[in-house]
Structure 1
Amino acid sequence: MPNIPVNSQIFDLAFHPNSNVVYTGLLNGKVKAFTYDDNGVHSTAFDLRISKLSCRGLAINPDGSSLYAVGKNRTLHVIDTTTATVSETRQCVHDAPINRVAHPTPRLLATGDDDGMIKLWDPRKQDAIRRYTQHFDFISDFMCGDGTLSVMDVRSTKSEPFAHSENQEDELLSIVPFKGGTKIAVGTQLGMISIFNRNKGWGDCVDRVPGHPHSIDALCTLPSAYPSSHNTILTGSSDGLLRVIELLPTRLVGVIADHGDFPIERIAIDRAGEGRWVGSVGHDEVLRMTDLREVFEDEGGGQRQDASVDEEVEVTPLPLKKSWAAEGDEQEPASARKEDEESGNVSDAPKPKRRKKEKGDLKGRPHKRGRNQVDASPSFFSDL
């Protein structure tokens, strides 16, 4: 599993849709791009400073020609990926630091800031075409920190959301569709996966999946080439583990990457989600690249059959890690989100936003192995 050092905390990453290029947005205000081959050998493509303040979010357009970068300076930067230069700068497009940027359709861009403001942009126009103000806390992965889920129809000219859920009594951190887009999985601060059903409305979730021992900061789905992609997701957690989980029915498949003492905040799969490499980033100043073919395919190129959690499987537990907590175990919420440093100096990088609890922190309760628990290292998959 190749690791790409960047020498600064990574806030976001984006893969080029057609080429083996990955872009990272850093605490020190830089955007660094790296090329990589099928063996994971990488080299620096460009190193561009766009601000003295942190670059928090990245999004790339469908053909990969333009990379959009946002951050604490409230500015929207457009980077020409061919020339590695800033082709456009829109100063102070939000009143608060911008936390996320996304490209929901080929001709629409969305930005969300620390005050909950969401703006929609047509890249061909200078000003925002719509604004949404239903949230009052920061936008993360276009999930808000005020405990509600909102659904916006970008085709509509209205500034009100299409739907707005009830308060979920938890902080919503990440979101991903599965089951062909008919269901939505939402990761929360307390480690619960909330399931929404499009056909049942958006007022409240229809199911909750317990078991994650820490917050679920990032989610993504498998490439569609895998038979189980319709109900399998990858979760990045504040305990530093990247897990593979099947939903409905729910079971832990295994752990495929470990960031040690640092939380995982963003994960993405290359080639517009249909590639072989999954990138994960946290606070350890390293972009970790995991080859999905080594995890899910045998040497002949066929799909591996995942072992059931009810089977007896010899695995090597990760030290001081809980791959999947037994239902009913007490869970400690991660610490509150901290503001990043004003300075662009690498040496002033903040400490991790969330610290893992040390062994024995669960109020003295010994950890019990649950019926559906598997403690697995990446080597677990090599025997399947």
Structure 2
Amino acid sequence: MGTTLLGIDTKEHCFEAQFHPKRPLLACACITGEVELHHFDRENRTHELAQSITSHSKSCRAAKFLTDSILASTGADKFAALSDLETGKQVWRCKLKAAGYSLLALDTERFAIGDDDGGLRIFEGRAPKAAVSWSENTDFISDLAMGVDGTSLCAVSGDGTLAVYDVRKSGEKGLIAMSDFQDDELLSVAILRRGTKVICGTQTGVLPIFSWGDFGDQKDRINGHSMSVDAMVKLAEDSIITGSSDGKLRVVAVHSKSLHSQILGILGEMSAEYPIERLSLSPDASTLACSSHGRPSVQLWSTEAARRLMEGESWESIFEVPDEGAEGEGAKADPTAAESDDDSSEEEQPKKKRRKEKKKGKKNVPGSNAKQHQAAKFFAGL
């Protein structure tokens, strides 16, 4: 496996680490409610805490840069917030109906937040309330991704569905499509193949693939992850890097012309004892940031090995594994580590760590909602 470039320790557990759009700076959302800003030097493998912003009274679960100086965040205190890096102060906040779980920056003015109860809202500028909101999902919104058209927002949920919303319309009018219940929690999402494929990470480790415009049910799947896929990040139009609850980072080809769809290899391992929380790529896509429960809480990895795997090089040649005792590629040699014990309080932890029983609402039963199937065909033929 590869070796980490740099390990960064936050004061307490970190849920997410995001790269600054221009500077070598990481924003780390922490269980303390703070966002720690760490300067890092990849070449010299050094880092230092530059700033700490108190954004939330309970755990800060997600933080994303909107501009060079404005940071959006959300957390267990049921607030959305904007903070100014120059002053280190919070400049805006808005009350949510439930604890914030996921956050996606749409542009320099707008961002979307998904909460613990399936609510999804878009905030614009510093308006006192959400510009657009939906409540079509019945469980936590685990991850978000924007379609290439710039108006279709994909949301995956613990209720086992993939939903697509029009960011210009609130309520039921904004629901473009919702998949059938997938009999699994959906925990992460990425849009590939120039917007034609949507791939999801699940609690069981399977990666279902949906075709854009036909969201009713998955059209393909990739097996091989031994445990849940809590995080993923798009590497190229035909590849992703996944983060699993077994602590491993995997390179996965998705509908690649030469490699097809398969797990190509293990890029690295943060810890065999702790799950990977979130992944993010640097602006130049050369560096991967991973956050987990272990120490160090954030690790930086080069994506060079992942790209070489996608170019067809063998896992053994890249990592120079000797013949004796060498592991095979990808899922062929992928031992399952024991599940970790999380000592963080249940109130502060996002819901996926609680392994809560899925709700049995009508949206979770295939064929129960004719509007969903009608919406699922909205983009058919495009």
Shorter-normalised TM range:
0.7 to 0.9
**TM-score with structure 2 setting the length:** 0.76
Match of 1:127 in 2: 129
Q: 1:182 is matched with which residue: 183, 193, 196?
A: 196
Q: CA deviation at 1:212?
A: 1.0
Tell me the percent identity: 29
Q: 2:280 is matched with which residue: 245, 253, 268?
A: 268
Q: 1:239 to 1:304 in 2, by over 3 A?
A: closer
Where 1:250 maps in the other structure, the secondary structure is strand
Query: Mean Cα displacement is larger for which, 153-162 or 205-214?
Result: 153-162
Q: What do residues 54-87 of structure 1 show as CA deviations (whole Å, max 9, x unaligned)?
A: 11111221x3221011111111221112222222
1:20 paired with 2:24, answer yes
Q: 1:275 to 1:208 in 2, by over 3 A?
A: closer
Q: CA deviation at 1:307?
A: 2.4
Q: 2:262 is matched with which residue: 251, 260, 276?
A: 251
Q: 1:338 to 1:102 in 2, by over 3 A?
A: farther
| Paired amino acid for 2:234 | T
1:141 paired with 2:106, answer no
> Partners in 2 of 1:209 and 1:315 — Cα distance?
26
Q: 1:105 to 1:322 in 2, by over 3 A?
A: farther
Query: Mean Cα displacement is larger for which, 35-44 or 201-210?
Result: 35-44
Contact 2:346–2:354 (CA under 8 A) maintained in structure 1? no
> Partners in 2 of 1:335 and 1:354 — Cα distance?
13
Match of 1:307 in 2: 313
> Partners in 2 of 1:102 and 1:338 — Cα distance?
28
**TM-score with structure 1 setting the length:** 0.76
Q: 1:3 is matched with which residue: 3, 7, 10?
A: 7
Contact 1:67–1:81 (CA under 8 A) maintained in structure 2? yes
| Paired amino acid for 1:315 | V
Q: 1:162 is matched with which residue: 149, 156, 176?
A: 176
Q: CA deviation at 1:342?
A: 4.8
> Partners in 1 of 2:211 and 2:329 — Cα distance?
27
Q: What do residues 333-364 of structure 1 show as CA deviations (whole Å, max 9, x unaligned)?
A: 97999984458xxxxx99x9499xxxxxxxxx
> Partners in 2 of 1:58 and 1:164 — Cα distance?
27
1:96 paired with 2:98, answer yes
Which structure has more strand as a fraction of its residues? Answer: 2
Match of 1:150 in 2: 163
Q: 2:68 is matched with which residue: 64, 71, 77?
A: 64
- Segments of structure 1 that go 5 or more residues without pairing to the other structure are 223-228, 298-302, 344-348, 356-384
Mapping 1:170-249, distance limit 5 Å: 170-199=184-213, 201-222=214-235, 229-248=236-255, 249=260
Q: 1:256 to 1:97 in 2, by over 3 A?
A: same
Q: CA deviation at 1:147?
A: 0.4
Contact 1:12–1:58 (CA under 8 A) maintained in structure 2? yes
Q: 1:21 to 1:137 in 2, by over 3 A?
A: same
Q: 1:331 to 1:67 in 2, by over 3 A?
A: same
> Partners in 2 of 1:137 and 1:44 — Cα distance?
36
Where 2:175 maps in the other structure, the secondary structure is coil
| Paired amino acid for 2:86 | T
Query: Mean Cα displacement is larger for which, 9-18 or 161-170?
Result: 9-18
Which structure has more helix as a fraction of its residues? Answer: 2
Contact 1:232–1:245 (CA under 8 A) maintained in structure 2? yes
Contact 1:336–1:354 (CA under 8 A) maintained in structure 2? no
> Partners in 1 of 2:41 and 2:310 — Cα distance?
24
Contact 1:80–1:87 (CA under 8 A) maintained in structure 2? yes
